[in-house]
Structure 1
Amino acid sequence: MPVVVVSDSSSRLQPEVRAQWDIREVPLHVLVDGVDLRDGIDDIPYDIHDRPKVTTAGATPAELVETYRQALADSDGAGVVAVHLSAALSSTYSAATMAAREFGPSVRVVNSRSAAMGVGFIALAAADCARSGGDIDAVEAAARSALTRSHVFLVVHRLDNLRRSGRIRTAASWLGTALALKPLLRLDVDGRLVLDQRIRTVGKAHAAMVERVAQVVGDRGADVVVHHVDNHDAADELGAALTRRLPQISSLTVADMGPLLSIHVGGGAVGVAVQVH
């Protein structure tokens, strides 16, 4: 049996895609009104990003151990490669490395240094290598190669969710004062959410995001997913602009950002995950 790939619900991989590539998923958690809701399993209110005092939590070591154990058994000992949400954004990676110790070298954990379909693209690259017969070393290497070609950009409509979440570097002093700012953000090489450009209007911020995507893609092919939080029209417009700007891209889809990430970035946010070939 081939190596089995595991990811988490931050990846935004659709159930049919996970089934096609036999990617296992560990749920992350949304905590609302004292209730623990599992992302991708339990029903989570569509307006969760607008609710006060909502928090998120990573996968637990126990959940990860159970998923890894089953995946390892299903691989007939070939091994497991786990690709998880950026360690700078979630406790899941540290919990995963703890859980993997139980299995020794048979379970490898990769810090995607990414989010949303940035994680998903890396998991898919690993799964493609596994399906082609790669051993655990090759599948891990495929994941690590893919993460160097993964880019994520984000434009938020409001800053209060980011302030509450603490997911952006505290050194960004502009966050506390520039109330009209519609910043263009990105995940840096360490998987941290950082300021890319200071921009005053949403339209200009989206245009700047198209240009930044064009810069990282260059003349190469790429797969692109446009994510949004309750802002499908803007995501569609952004997708059309990217298609015009980069006619060589292999695929472009529009998908919601999911409840877990939406809590941290707020309503109206639009982001782009890019996997360069």
Structure 2
Amino acid sequence: MPVVVVTDSGARLPDELRRQWAIREVPLHILLDGADLRDGVDDIPHDIHDYGHATTTAATPAELADVYRDALADSGGDGVVAVHLSAALSGTFKAAQVAAAEFGSAVRVIDSKSAAMNTGFVALAAARAAAGGADLDTVANAAAAAVSRNHGFIVVHQLDNLRRSGRIGGAGAWLGTKLSLKPLLRIDDGKLVLAQRVRTASKATATMIDRVCEVVDGRQASIAVHHVANPDGARDVVTALGKRLPGCGSPIVTELGPVLALHVGAGALGVCVDVAGDVDPPASM
């Protein structure tokens, strides 16, 4: 039986891709007015990003262990590769390590060192290897190689969500300013950091598109565009990338999802890039 790949709802994998590649998903959580809501399972207000008192929580070790157990059984003992949100952004990775300890070396946990479809691209790389009949070590190596190929950028329109989230690393002091800024953020070794401060949303988005094109640099790449309540903005980004990167094909376009939206707020636009051949795959785990 093939190795089974597991991820969490923070990967923002479209349902059709999850079904196509048989990827299992564990929901992350939102706590709202005493209710524990599971991302992708329970009804969550569409404007949850505007609820200043809502908070996010990781998947629990018990939830993860249940999914790993079923996945391991379905693999016929061949193993499970679990790809999760960056350990620097969510407690899910640490919870996954606790859960995986029950199964020894049969469950390999990979820190995607990213979020959204950057995590999804890592899970897809593992799932493609598994579908090709690769063994557990090879599937885990495919996931680890994909981590280093990923680049993520996001333009944030509202600073309040970032202030509350505490997820911005190394440059948080400037969040206290009253200046009208539209920060361009990037993922750096699993952390969300400031890439550039820009005065207007349009200039920030244009700068993000420039950064994406610099990263791709004429190579093949898979691209995803995310948004928070900003479908028009996402379409504009897709159009611009299509003109400048015609060889990359059509991007995946999805909402950023309620858990991640709580941290970046309405209007946010993000681009995730998986660059083919960015690095050589590691020889071993």
Q: TM-score, normalised by structure 2?
A: 0.95
Q: Deviations over 1:103-136 (max 9, x none)?
A: 0000000000010111111100000000011100
Q: Hey, what does 1:172 align to over in structure 2?
A: 172
* 8 Å contact from structure 2 (residues 82, 107) kept in 1: yes
Q: Hey, what does 2:282 align to over in structure 1?
A: none
CA distance in 2: counterparts of 1:115 and 1:53, whole angstroms: 23
Q: Hey, what does 2:158 align to over in structure 1?
A: 158
* 8 Å contact from structure 2 (residues 171, 193) kept in 1: no
* 8 Å contact from structure 2 (residues 86, 112) kept in 1: yes
Q: Hey, what does 2:279 align to over in structure 1?
A: none
Q: Which residue identity is paired with 2:220? A: G
Q: Hey, what does 1:130 align to over in structure 2?
A: 130
Q: CA deviation at 1:250?
A: 3.0
CA distance in 2: counterparts of 1:40 and 1:18, whole angstroms: 13
SS in 1 for 2:225: strand
Q: Hey, what does 1:248 align to over in structure 2?
A: 247
Q: CA deviation at 1:171?
A: 4.1
Q: Hey, what does 1:215 align to over in structure 2?
A: 214
Aligned-residue CA RMSD (Å): 0.9
* 8 Å contact from structure 1 (residues 6, 26) kept in 2: yes
CA distance in 1: counterparts of 2:229 and 2:75, whole angstroms: 39
* 8 Å contact from structure 1 (residues 239, 253) kept in 2: no
Q: CA deviation at 1:20?
A: 1.1
* 8 Å contact from structure 1 (residues 222, 251) kept in 2: no
Q: Deviations over 1:50-79 (max 9, x none)?
A: 012100000000000000000000000000
Q: Which residue identity is paired with 1:199? A: V
2:232 equivalent to 1:233: yes
Q: Which residue identity is paired with 1:231? A: N
Q: Which residue identity is paired with 2:253? A: V
* 8 Å contact from structure 2 (residues 153, 187) kept in 1: yes
Q: TM-score, normalised by structure 1?
A: 0.98
Q: Hey, what does 1:201 align to over in structure 2?
A: 200
CA distance in 2: counterparts of 1:72 and 1:206, whole angstroms: 43
Q: Which residue identity is paired with 2:246? A: P
* 8 Å contact from structure 2 (residues 242, 249) kept in 1: no
CA distance in 1: counterparts of 2:73 and 2:35, whole angstroms: 32
Q: Hey, what does 1:181 align to over in structure 2?
A: 181
CA distance in 1: counterparts of 2:78 and 2:49, whole angstroms: 40
CA distance in 2: counterparts of 1:171 and 1:206, whole angstroms: 20
CA distance in 1: counterparts of 2:178 and 2:127, whole angstroms: 43
Q: Which residue identity is paired with 1:204? A: K
How many residue pairs match? The answer is 276
Q: CA deviation at 1:251?
A: 3.0
Q: Which residue identity is paired with 1:219? A: G
CA distance in 2: counterparts of 1:25 and 1:265, whole angstroms: 23
User: What are the equivalent positions in structure 2 for 1:98-113 lying under 5 Å apart?
Assistant: 98-113=98-113
Q: Hey, what does 2:265 align to over in structure 1?
A: 266
